[in-house]
Structure 1
Amino acid sequence: MFSLKKIALITAAAALLGSGPVLAQPDLPTQLTEARQEGSIWTAFALNKHLSPFKIDVGVEQGTATLKGKVENEVDRELAERIALDTKGIEKADNQLEVDPAVATEPGTRTNMAQRFEDATLVATVKSKLLWSSVTEALNIEVDSKDGVITLKGRAQSPEAKELAGSLASNTDGVVSVNNLISLSAADSIA
């Protein structure tokens, strides 16, 4: 007959041998943490105006972030590594990014999440300036932004109000240029 010790030993050995492949796989909390870290790094790249034009693949395993893709210069390569290392839980970066000056993009051609956020911020900033000005606060001015180019539409009571609206927009940080399409309304200026 088998003694209790032998049965326990055989059971433990079988459990260890059978769980080998399972132990090699990270557990669910680890997978979720690594996915969150990948997402955090990718989001930081997407929101960074220096890195957002480039396609950078991110992988995280056991506290190491692996970066693959191409960037324009060594500064961008180092920036990507620094951002990855600044992510909570990342202890090491395997920076496999290649430097290729040919991947540079022309200014104003960024049509990505970072540019959309920047445009939305510009619209909000310009609208705020127009509302805070006693000359333009009563005007119904539509503000739009595309790649940092602000377009103003609506009606103004005077040429001065139209000019001030354009000036407020053009003096906003991040604005490349202003299309001032505000029309003058004779009826408004008489009233």
Structure 2
Amino acid sequence: MKKTIYRAALIAMMASLFIINVNLAASEMDDRIESTAKESYVFKTYLQGDDIDIASKDGAVTLTGTVAEETRKTLAQETVASLPGVISVDNKLEVKGEALPVYSDAWLIAKVKSTLFFHRNVSAAKTEVLAKDGIITLRGETASEAHKDLATEYAKDVEGVRDVKNEMTVVTAATKPDEKLKAKKMDAQVKPGEKTMGQKMGDVVDDTTGYIDDASITAMVKTTLMYHRSTSAINTTVKTNEGVVSLGGKAANAAEKDLATKLVSDVYGVKSVVNNMEIETAKAATK
């Protein structure tokens, strides 16, 4: 009888210790998720001015607070969802102010800015975006004609944009200081009827030479594909390991697959891209 009681007590004690250890492990994981999110490149760079609270319970994360733009709400969710140990994300973030009318000039400016700011060969911080009746004007400085053409290409790929006028100035090491000053003064002039953008997300980023974590890279890649018209409908999975991005899912054709590789390769922090997407037309032909 005593042995039975002793055995039962021992089992109960071991079970209690197991539960305690599990709870401690879960608590440590939740703390790690919250701290890692706050220390991520995206949160410290793009979301630094937003009021975001992160609460994790057994890997289920809830985001509350306010952000300046819809893009930031998406970016916060994608970053947290990409962290190790996260099971789900309940995004309760609210966007300050009223929603912009779809396809309005202000809406187009926000979308163009969102399309530009993750690409390393297009400096959103030095690019002014204006819009009038669906026609986008780009101003500012760029490092080369190739970068200028790329900015035009990216801006044209935003849904609702009718045309793009690229008035950006190519500034190289050979450009004289007085010419650079003149270019900046010209960029500061806004034509009547045009709308421009204030301090939005693309304006806070200029120096991106530091380390960028995998969760932030994954979030930026997903958001980039989402905001480009040519890739927004692609069912794409994204995984990042030490800066190497692997794409999965389906593409309508080879051109769409190649475009996804091109866009992702130009995202900050991406070292290389492994595109494993299946081409639907090719798959259908084999049946």
- TM-score normalised according to structure 1 size: 0.44
Return the index of the structure with the highest Cα Rg.
Answer: 1
- TM-score normalised according to structure 2 size: 0.31
